[in-house]
Every structure is written in C-alpha cells, then in structure tokens.
Structure 1
C-alpha cells in the first residue's frame, strides 16, 4: 500500500470512527486513537460486507456502504467503552456490597 492509501485509510477511519461515536448516546470513555482504529477496521469490514451483498460501487455516493461502516464503528465503540467501564463498575459494586 502506498503512502497515499495509508493516509486516506486514516482519514476515512477518523470520519467513520467519529460518526460511529456520534451515533451513540452519552459519553464514550475511549481515546481518539482507539476511535481511529475502530473507524479504520469498521471501514474495511463495511466495505467487504457491502461488496459481499452487492451494494458497493454504485453510481454516486454509496449510502448503504456508509451506513454499514458507521453501524460497525458504533458497535466497535460501544464494545470498547463497555469493556473499559464494565470491569470497573463491577469491581466497585462488588466492593460496596461485601463491606
């Protein structure tokens, strides 16, 4: 992959990751780097899924592909946020219940 491909993947990852975060209500406790990584992975997976179901590379803007990518990014952000906060809240509640 050329440097322009890497740069465009990062830019698309940022856009998809941010849109995925905006699709979720409330505050997400993950960093910008995690958001970009989730966005890049969601963009790649979303493109593969869209190509697999035959909705990629249409005339104009590929809205269905974008929706798949944003949905995957929102799912990834939610899973990372739940993983980060789920463990801490369980430990805190366990400590309070057994004092």
Structure 2
C-alpha cells in the first residue's frame, strides 16, 4: 500500500504544480486548438471523411499537447532540482516513476 500512496503523492504534487502555473494550461489549450485548426485547413475533406477521421485527429492533437505539457513539467522539475529530492526520499523508485 505504501507504494501506491507514494505514487499518488508524486502525481498529486505534479497536478498541484500545474494548477498553480496557469500559463502551461493555456499554452496547451491554444496549441491543441491550433493543431486542430491546421488539420482542418490542410486536409480538404468533405463531411463524411471528416466524421471518419475526426477521432484519430483529435487523439493526435491530444498526444501533441501532452508532449508539450510533459516537456514544460520536466523543465520546471529540472530547474528546481526536484528529482534529486525525490531520489533522496525513502520512497521506492518505481513509485516515483509511476507517479
């Protein structure tokens, strides 16, 4: 049980940090809108093709946006040397990775 509690604590720490910094959320939101808009303009599709391709394009935009958010999150962790503190804590390494 300690393993999952530690993983939850690490994940919750990251969620709180992202909620405090609003610029990451707004950047990810506008980036996803921009990607979807670019798909709309570059793929000249009719309505039936759009309905069949929309789920895949939406997940592609979500994936691109997630990569952007992860990059910003790791950059903040690296600047504050949070990973050093996590490694020094008495928590299993797998819980840190999972969190």
- TM-score using structure 2 length: 0.48
Q: Which has the higher Rg, Structure 1 or Structure 2?
A: 2
More relative contact order in 1 or in 2 (CA 8 Å, sep 6+)?
2
TM-score after normalising by structure 1: 0.48
Q: Which has the higher helix share?
A: 2
